Amino acid sequence: MKGRGNGAQQAMSKKDGEVAEAKENESKPSVELFTDGACSGNPGPGGWAFILRHSATGKEIERFGGEAITTNNRMELTAVIEGLRTLKKPSRVEVYADSQYVLKGLNEWMEGWKKRGWKRGKRGKEPVMNVELWQELDRLRAEHELVLHWVRGHTGHSENERCDELAVEAIARYR
Catalytically active residues are 36-37, 76, 98, 154, 164
Distance in angstroms (rounded) separating the CA atoms of residues 1 and 62? 57
Q: How far apart are CA 130 and CA 77, in angstroms?
A: 9
Report the half-sphere exposure of 76 (CA within 13 A, side-chain side).
20
Structure letter (DSSP) for residue 105: I
Counting Cα atoms < 13 Å in the Cβ hemisphere of 75 gives 31
- 3 state SS of 4: coil
User: Using an 8 Å Cβ cutoff, are 130 and 78 in contact?
Assistant: no
Q: Which residues contact 137 (CB under 8 A, 6 or more apart)?
A: 77, 80, 81, 84, 105, 106
For residues 64 and 91, what is the distance between their CA atoms, to the nearest angstrom? 21
